[in-house]
Chain A
């Protein structure tokens, strides 16, 4: 088979596949216009602040209670997780997270879990296990990461868990999240 023939065949095959299914995207622009038009208008930060101060007193108190309660819950949870992680870390935690080794600890508090794994761009999406040696519910692994952006998720007893509370960012696709960590330079 000549090289040109193969090139032509590939191009034609891809085009034929698209032409056979092109009817599926008929009217896509109308569906998308309808979908984005039906969304609630996005409020800017200033508009939200303005709305808060112009809202009735009862609603303002409710909003403050919700925000305050959420903040307290996150604070307590964060402190508890921080304390437990601090107990687990060796006496010189900087060595584990420092630039010297490029080692990053991935940890997940999951009491009762039977198996936790991590898969990410740095493992070529192969799953590697986390360890909970003392059975306290904190599963950990130390991974050496090159500087840059790393996408990953935990797999807890076979279920995808993409929202690591320690992540720098999240990406979402088809309703499932992946976590993102930046090593060295953000967005690099």
Chain B
């Protein structure tokens, strides 16, 4: 673990001096985590792909502002979360007609499980973004409330409240849709 951290610092230093291959290695290490955040918040795969790309380009361009004593992932996740928020804000003023379900269907399997997944996916998409963003960072990236608070520039207490409310809202939506009954069949 220590080697990985030291190695990461070395990669960041090299990137700062214009070594694009070193930055490529950083992208390779973090792309799945960053894509997961973007997909979780935006709930739209093409936008998530764009946001992931933009996050790494913006992070590279602003690498001088990153302080090595801070955790790199927190800084990077803050950038992608910001890009996602701006993207959602942009769509709010420039609405687009959706071409269908935003996250595509998965391979067919057991009907009940698929239905459960669809319902949970819909319920996640319907959550307000201020609830969805901390939820994604907590469950996808396994981040602490403190780290999430730093990433979203929101007080830790608010993050706890938003995650709690998100879970209550999800549970209500799933209960309304009789998921529990379907799952127990």
- B-contacting residues of A (Cβ < 8 Å)? 1, 6-7, 9-11, 13-18, 20-22, 24-25, 28-33, 35-37, 41, 125, 155, 160, 171, 173-174, 176, 178
Contact = CB atoms under 8 A, between A and B. Distances in A.
Given A28-B31, A29-B31, A155-B93, A16 B106 contact: yes
B27 A28 contact: yes
Nearest to A31: B53
B89 interface: yes
B139 A10 contact: yes
A13 B20 contact: no
Interface stretch (B1-9, B34-42, B67-75, B144-152): B34-42
Interface residues of B, number: 52
A60 B18 CA distance: 29
Interface in B133-155: 135-136, 139-140
Given A33-B24, A36-B23, A173 B54 contact: yes
Given A18-B39, A174-B54, A29 B106 contact: no
B32 interface: yes
A166 B145 CA distance: 36
Contacts of A11: 139-140
- Chain A interface mostly: helix
Given A10-B170, A18-B140, A21-B104, 18 more contacts: A6-B174, A9-B116, A9-B120, A10-B135, A10-B167, A15-B36, A18-B39, A20-B104, A21-B45, A25-B49, A32-B23, A32-B24, A32-B56, A32-B60, A36-B20, A173-B90, A174-B54, A176-B86
A124 to B, nearest CB: 10
A24 B49 contact: yes
B48 interface: yes
B171 interface: yes
A25 B87 contact: no
Contacts of A173: 54, 82-83, 86-87, 90
A6 B171 contact: yes
A25 B57 contact: no
A25 B54 contact: no
Nearest to B136: A14
B25 interface: yes
B21 interface: yes
B126 to A, nearest CB: 13
B22 to A, nearest CB: 9
Contact of B25 (A7, A10, A29, A178): A29
A25 B86 contact: no
27 contacts: A1-B171, A6-B171, A6-B174, A10-B135, A10-B170, A13-B117, A13-B120, A14-B36, A14-B136, A14-B139, A16-B117, A17-B103, A18-B36, A18-B39, A21-B45, A28-B52, A28-B56, A32-B57, A32-B60, A33-B27, A125-B89, A160-B90, A173-B83, A174-B54, A174-B83, A176-B86, A178-B86
